[in-house]
Amino acid sequence: MAELQLKSVEKTYGGGFKAVHGIDLTVAEGEFMVLVGPSGCAKSTTLRMIAGLETITGGEIRIGDRLVNDVVPGKRGIAMVFQNYALYPHMKVRSNLSFGLRLKRRPKQEIAGATGDVSRVLEIEELLERLPKQLSGGQAQRVAVGRALIKQPEVFLFDEPLSNLDAKLRASMRVRITDLHKRLRAEGRPATVVYVTHDQVEAMTMGDRICVMREGHIMQVADPTTLYQRPANAFVAGFIGMPEMNLVDAVLTTQDVPHLTVGDQTISIETGLADRLSLTEGPVKLGIRPQHLQLLTPGSDNALQGEVTAVEFLGHEINVHLRAADADFVAVVPSDHLDAMPRRGDRVAVKPTGAKVHLFDRYSEENISLG
């Protein structure tokens, strides 16, 4: 296993479209790195450049200490698992697994040993004599992972490998893949992984670190806790977390009593937050996670006054949509915290819990409240 390094990597496609704008990323040996971002942000392009399936038009890619810019895919020491895992339909699972090694004319004994080892690790031993059409989606996906694992690559690349599975299976495959990664680490053969997904739950639960991308740029690289608690910009703040963080235009003033003006209303901000600010006044985006927005009785002091526009009952919690100070908000309220269910049209007041608020420069969208 090896470290993977991208330095100022660029991709301009044939038609002149620039898909990747000089990205820098280092994935440590044995690290599970997730690339996440909306559809079209160049996750697959980046992965395919690492694999050598796509040329790079600028920068450098290194696997271990080798510069691989001009190395063909087969010689890069990578193995890739795609969304459409396409097993060879006429071959039994055993032959699907060993195909790569047979192609390389490895000795029979080695092939048998590696097939046994990989099927044990992936718990697919009982499937070895089956054909792909006799497998469930999850089983087929495990065979596809096995086919990559058996190559003992320097770096594993996954491109949305779970997208074709239903929600329940996806959840169990998530655990299996991270489990496998931990097990390989414990056995002293850590796997360097780059895992592409557009699903923030996969990103947050699987990644040692997560690289958030937008339109061919890297917006932040950090561990899941840091991404959630200290988003570097409004994009990451909005992308990570469910429901999405409320992001509304406001004007910050820190003279005398620090406060925010939202629409035609004002709320003071806690000194704890005011002390963290790297900007003292001006147009900002106010970011409040729905879980950090308190519902209060109308007229409450130092809160935004508004009206409930919709209520979604989810069982253990309720999403309350509301309009206040010319902006839309969502508040998530644990259902056992409420005496009565809020209803559309109810007058309410809302206020962020404590200092759990983020402020972003309105124009650069950088977080100015990280301290």
**What is the C-alpha to C-alpha distance for residues 163 and 58, in angstroms, rounded to an integer?**
30
> CB of residue 240 vs ligand ADP: minimum separation in angstroms?
16
Choosing from 9, 25, 42, 149, the residue that interacts with ligand ADP (CB under 6 A) is 42
The window from 43-51, 119-127, 213-221, 349-357 that contacts Mg ion (CB under 5 A) reads 43-51
Task: Give 59 or 138: the residue with its C-beta nearer to ligand ADP.
Answer: 59
Q: Is 25 helix (H, G, I), strand (E, B) or coil?
A: strand
What distance lies between CA 304 and its chain's CA centroid? 32
Task: Give 45 or 200: the residue with its C-beta nearer to ligand ADP.
Answer: 45
> CB of residue 1 vs Mg ion: minimum separation in angstroms?
25
> CB of residue 44 vs Mg ion: minimum separation in angstroms?
3
Choosing from 41, 135, 143, 267, the residue that interacts with ligand ADP (CB under 6 A) is 41
Task: Give 160 or 361: the residue with its C-beta nearer to Mg ion.
Answer: 160
> CB of residue 244 vs ligand ADP: minimum separation in angstroms?
19
Choosing from 23, 27, 43, 233, the residue that interacts with ligand ADP (CB under 6 A) is 43
Choosing from 5, 44, 178, 192, the residue that interacts with Mg ion (CB under 5 A) is 44
The option from Mg ion, ligand ADP, none interacting with 17 (CB < 5 to 8 A, set by class) reads: ligand ADP
The window from 34-42, 105-113, 230-238, 342-350 that contacts ligand ADP (CB under 6 A) reads 34-42
**CA distance readout (Å), 139 to 24, 61, 248:** 36, 33, 45
**What is the C-alpha to C-alpha distance for residues 81 and 74, in angstroms, rounded to an integer?**
14
Give the DSSP letter string of 39-50.
TTSSHHHHHHHH
Q: Does 44 bind ligand ADP (CB under 6 A)?
A: yes
**Tokens 């004007």 correspond to what residue?**
251
**What is the C-alpha to C-alpha distance for residues 218 and 207, in angstroms, rounded to an integer?**
16
**What is the C-alpha to C-alpha distance for residues 156 and 193, in angstroms, rounded to an integer?**
5
**What is the C-alpha to C-alpha distance for residues 328 and 164, in angstroms, rounded to an integer?**
34
Which of left, alpha, beta for 101 (phi over 0: left; psi -120 to 50: alpha)? alpha
> CB of residue 36 vs Mg ion: minimum separation in angstroms?
11
Binding mask 2-21 for ligand ADP (x = CB under 6 A): -----------x-x-x-x--
> CB of residue 46 vs ligand ADP: minimum separation in angstroms?
7
End-to-end CA distance of the chain: 38
Choosing from 1, 5, 32, 45, the residue that interacts with ligand ADP (CB under 6 A) is 45
**CA distance readout (Å), 67 to 3, 6, 63, 241, 361:** 12, 10, 7, 37, 39
The option from ligand ADP, Mg ion, none interacting with 363 (CB < 5 to 8 A, set by class) reads: none
Q: Does 40 bind ligand ADP (CB under 6 A)?
A: yes
The option from Mg ion, ligand ADP, none interacting with 40 (CB < 5 to 8 A, set by class) reads: ligand ADP
Q: To 10 degrees, what angle do helices 137-149 and 108-121 make?
A: 130
CA dihedral 326, 328, 334, 339 (to 10 degrees): 40
Q: Half-sphere exposure of 215 toward its Cβ, with a 13 Å CA cutoff?
A: 2
Binding mask 198-237 for ligand ADP (x = CB under 6 A): ----------------------------------------
Contact footprint for ligand ADP (CB under 6 A): 13, 15, 17, 19, 37, 39-45
Contact footprint for Mg ion (CB under 5 A): 44
